[in-house]
């Protein structure tokens, strides 16, 4: 089984302004704002939901595939992912566009001014799972990207009998209720955080019980309260893994998914899958950025065993 990650592919350009935006905004001239902030630092981070999830899967020793669209500036990102064991052959380059990019400037009060340029991501529906020769032995993660592509992947998975994980996350707000419902019906797994789970119920007009009945495995993450897995009429409460120091919460949900699905691909029980998700998320929380944490499978197993009991099954990882 290969895990196929179809979420967005993006760069984050993060800048810091050593002052306060509010000192430069003139309320009497709001109709003609013209501001340029001289920033004192900028970092370019690799991001996007698809590669974020694939990164954790690869850290744990799997060889996931990323499928999607990126721009003319993707070369170094591709090489970097390949070196870490991620197959990027399914990433199509849209030559006249740049990779989706998030530009954010933060001031000393943590106020933020940001823009998101979708770029090549808007063409994600050009890549089909059929063309990429995804098979019924694989598991497709349908994660936030262009909504048309997400709907296409749902339709293709259903038509080709490919099991899929429905992971609409932040796109719940952007998608039509009927499309979300089509995605939920037929999914093998659903991943959402608590807030997205409420929104999903509202938009699909399905109750929590309906969703749990429709989807064999529903995983709801609860931030610092851990996660809950609803499966076969049984509920598993998953604790968080102790975190040394929280540096940056971005990407924590993606890391959780990567840890959890590695466990699933190895056939581990739900409790272990959930705790693997918690620990993968903890590593991500401890670094700035979504792909800057590092560990070997052996280090992961050793840290897991300091907090949780795996009955020896994690020997299969290291």
Ligand X SMILES: Nc1ncnc2c1ncn2[C@@H]1O[C@H](COP(=O)(O)OP(=O)(O)OP(=O)(O)O)[C@@H](O)[C@H]1O
Task: Residue 267: name its binding partner from ligand X, Mg ion, none (Cβ under 5 to 8 Å by kind).
Answer: none
Out of 189, 256, 264, 308, the only residue in the binding site for ligand X (CB under 6 A) is 256
- Which does residue 224 touch among Mg ion, ligand X, none (CB within 5 to 8 A, set by kind)? ligand X
Inter-residue contact 105 to 16 (CB < 8 Å): yes
Q: Which helix (H) or strand (E) is 75 found in, with range?
A: helix 75-83
Tally of helices (H runs) and strands (E runs) in the chain? 9, 13
Is 226 a binding residue for ligand X by CB under 6 A? The answer is yes
Is 278 an interacting residue with respect to ligand X (CB under 6 A)?
yes
Closest residue to ligand X using C-beta atoms = 253
3-state secondary structure of 255: helix
We find the least distance from the C-beta atom of residue 222 to ligand X, in angstroms, to be 6
What does DSSP assign to residue 290? Answer: S
**Stretch 114-153 residues interacting with Mg ion (CB under 5 A):** none
Q: Is 75 in the site for ligand X (CB under 6 A)?
A: no
* 169 contributes a contact to Mg ion by CB under 5 A: yes
From the list Mg ion, ligand X, none, partner contacted by residue 251 (C-beta under 5 to 8 A by kind): ligand X
Q: State how far the Cα of 277 lies from the Cα of 63, in Å rounded to an integer.
A: 18
DSSP 130: T
Kindly state the smallest distance separating residue 195's Cβ from ligand X, in Å.
Answer: 7
The number of beta carbons lying within 10 Å of the beta carbon of residue 314 is 22
The one of Mg ion, ligand X, none whose footprint includes residue 222, by CB under 5 to 8 A per kind, is: ligand X
Q: Least distance in Å: CB of 53 to Mg ion?
A: 11
Q: Which range of residues in 54-62, 123-131, 144-152, 240-248 is near ligand X by CB under 6 A?
A: 240-248
104, 110, 111, 112: CA torsion to nearest 10: 10
Starting from the edge strand earliest in sequence, which strands make up the sheet with 10-16, in order? 41-47, 10-16, 100-106, 112-117
Question: Min. distance of Cβ 140 from Mg ion in angstroms?
Answer: 18
Site for ligand X, residues 279 to 308, rule: CB under 6 A: 281-282, 285
Rule CB under 6 A: is residue 18 a binding residue for ligand X?
A: no
Q: How far, in Å, CA of 54 to CA of 5, rounded? A: 6
Q: Between residues 162 and 180, which has the closer beta carbon with respect to Mg ion?
A: 180
For residues 77 and 70, the answer to whether their CB atoms sit within 8 Å is yes
Q: How far is the CB of 280 from Mg ion (least distance, A)?
A: 14
Strand partners, 46: 11
Q: Pick the closer one to ligand X by CB: 47 or 71.
A: 47
Residue 249 site contact among Mg ion, ligand X, none (CB < 5 to 8 Å, cut-off depends on kind): ligand X
Question: Min. distance of Cβ 35 from ligand X in angstroms?
Answer: 28
Q: How far apart are alpha carbons 91 and 79 in whole angstroms?
A: 12
Give me the active site residues, please.
254
Chain positions 201 to 260 lying near Mg ion, rule: CB under 5 A, are: 253
- Give the binding site for ligand X (CB under 6 A): 193, 221-224, 226-227, 240, 243, 246, 249-254, 256, 278, 281-282, 285
- Give the binding site for Mg ion (CB under 5 A): 169, 253
């Amino acid at each position: 089984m290969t895990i196929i990650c179809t979420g967005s592919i993006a760069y984050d350009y993060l800048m810091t302004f050593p002052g306060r935006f509010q000192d430069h905004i003139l309320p009497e001239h709001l109709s003609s704002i013209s501001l340029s902030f001289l920033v004192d630092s900028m970092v370019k981070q690799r991001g996007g939901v698809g590669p974020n999830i694939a990164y954790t899967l690869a850290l744990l020793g799997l060889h996931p595939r990323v499928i999607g669209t990126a721009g003319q500036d993707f070369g170094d990102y591709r090489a970097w992912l390949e070196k870490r064991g991620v197959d990027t052959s399914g990433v199509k380059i849209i030559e006249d566009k740049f990779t989706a990019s998030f530009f954010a400037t933060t001031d000393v009060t943590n106020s933020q001014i940001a823009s998101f340029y979708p770029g090549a991501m808007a063409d994600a529906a050009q890549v089909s799972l059929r063309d990429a020769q995804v098979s019924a032995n694989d598991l497709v993660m349908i994660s936030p990207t262009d909504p048309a592509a997400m709907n296409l992947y749902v339709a293709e998975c259903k038509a080709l009998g490919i099991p899929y994980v429905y992971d609409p996350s932040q796109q719940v707000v952007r998608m039509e209720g009927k499309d979300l419902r089509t995605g939920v019906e037929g999914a093998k797994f659903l991943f959402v955080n608590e807030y997205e789970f409420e929104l999903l119920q509202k938009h699909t007009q399905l109750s929590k019980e309906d969703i749990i009945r429709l989807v064999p495995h529903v995983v709801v993450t609860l931030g610092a309260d851990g996660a809950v897995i609803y499966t076969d009429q049984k509920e598993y409460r998953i604790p968080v893994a102790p975190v040394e120091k929280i540096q940056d919460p971005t990407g924590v949900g993606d890391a959780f998914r990567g840890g959890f699905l590695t466990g699933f691909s190895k056939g581990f029980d739900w409790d272990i899958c959930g705790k693997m998700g918690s620990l993968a998320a903890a590593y991500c929380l401890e670094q700035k950025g979504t792909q800057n944490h590092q560990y070997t499978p052996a280090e992961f197993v050793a840290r897991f065993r300091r907090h949780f009991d795996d009955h020896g099954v994690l020997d299969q990882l290291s």
